Amino acid sequence: MLMASVLLASAGLLRLPFERDMELEFKEQGFRDWSPGLSTRDQLTQAAFVGALGGFRSLVASVYHLKAHNSFVKKEWGDVERYRAVTASLQPKFWSYWDMAVWDMAWNAYGHYRGEAEEYGNDFRGWHAESIIMPRYLEKGITFAKRGLEWLPEDYRLMKVIADIYDQKMGNPEKAAEWYLKASQKPQAPSHVYRAYAHQLTLCAGREEQAYRVTEDLYRNSGNVTLTLLRDMERLEEDMARRAAHDRSYDQLKDAAFAEASGYLEMAAFAMHLLEIRKDVPAAISVYTKVADNRRAPSFYRRKLAFLMAEDPQKAAEAYTILKDLAVSYPGALRREDMARLAELESRLGIPE
């Protein structure tokens, strides 16, 4: 018996460094060894805690996942939050549990209280839901995602979900752009994350120049011009042209437009001046024709030109040809509301549908 104890103890001493080594290597491999945080410990029942320690962590996590779902169905948001926290911290390397937690807070609970806020309007209850509870759930969502990022620092999805909250729920394009950019820099991130970053930039007041740089780069080099990108491009270029048209004199603009090295943007600024300051539509049309003929100019100039021409009965037929061509060759160049104007033009010209 004594001998056995001695053998057992010396074997223990022998294996201890070896096991420690393995544990460290597991950590290095990303199997960061898990120990229940204080908050998790408080939230687990005793049985679940023993189970979690006894090597049944993921099993316990699954059970809490189910509990969270049940609470979600019953709209008991406090419980949802608690169970989500347990599930995620038991299996912190599984992004989807964090994602669910964020989603339940910033979308589901938030949406529930928004309904309440609408229902109670200007009551205290409505006010409370709107200005106290709703922002709080958005913060909770962001906190969950950030905790998840401590475990999964390379996961673009958790970054993107933070950006989504800033974008869709908080209307904070600065923050949204910041997180979309972070997310887009992760190797796994698909290209639309970077596009989302570009889009948020266009919404940031005072960063127009940066936004234009990024957007134009995407427009010219990504090989995939989405509708959002096209509209952003249009908005940015129109704003630039309008600013120039208002800030600078006719001569300055004209000189710039016809300078040797000028591009279509200077021309567009001049055209804008003619259109909005001088209100000289025929002159604007002739300058816009030049812009539209520039091969680098996006399709929306052609659209603008066509609708300007459509107002002039003599040029209506030509405008119609341009619009038809746009509809066929440049998907996305025409907007939904353009269809009514096109139909109106058709009837004016007596063209059967």
Partner 1 sequence: MDSEAYSTELSRQHKAFSPSRVWAIAGNTFTQLVRMKVFYFLLIFSALIIGANLLFLSFTFEQELKILKDVSFGAMSLFASIFAIVGTALLIPKDMEDRTLYTILTKPVPRFEYLLGKLMGILLLIGVSILLMSLLFFTVLYIRQHGILAEKIASLPRHASETDIESFRESIFSRGLQPELLLGVIAVFLKAAVAAGVALFVSTFASSTLFTIIVSLVVYFIGHAQSLALDYYFTQGELHSAGQRFLAGLVGVVFPNFQLFNVTDGLTAGEVIPASLMARLVGLTAFYLTIYSLVSWMVFAKKEL
Residues forming contacts to partner 1 in the complex (CB under 8 A) are 1, 3-4, 7-9, 11-13, 15-16, 18-20, 22-23, 25-26, 29-31, 33-35, 50, 53-59, 61-62, 65-66, 69, 91, 93-94, 96-97, 100
**Rounded to 10 degrees, what is the CA torsion of 7, 8, 14, 20?**
180
Comparing CB distances to partner 1, the nearer of 95 and 264 is: 95
Neighbour-count burial of 62, counting CB atoms closer than 10 A to its CB (0-12 exposed, 13-18 middle, 19+ buried): middle
Closest contact distance (angstroms) between CB of 3 and partner 1 is 6
Comparing CB distances to partner 1, the nearer of 33 and 353 is: 33
Closest contact distance (angstroms) between CB of 125 and partner 1 is 31
The count of other CB atoms within 10 Å of the CB of residue 28 is 9
Q: Classify residue 167 by its DSSP letter.
A: I
Comparing CB distances to partner 1, the nearer of 1 and 38 is: 1
Comparing CB distances to partner 1, the nearer of 12 and 153 is: 12
Q: Cβ neighbours of residue 192 under 8 Å, at least 6 residues apart?
A: none
Neighbour-count burial of 288, counting CB atoms closer than 10 A to its CB (0-12 exposed, 13-18 middle, 19+ buried): buried
Comparing CB distances to partner 1, the nearer of 3 and 205 is: 3
Q: With residue 15 as reference, give the H or E element that holds it.
A: helix 2-28
Closest contact distance (angstroms) between CB of 67 and partner 1 is 11
Contact 174, 204 (CB under 8 A): yes
Closest contact distance (angstroms) between CB of 32 and partner 1 is 9
Closest contact distance (angstroms) between CB of 97 and partner 1 is 8
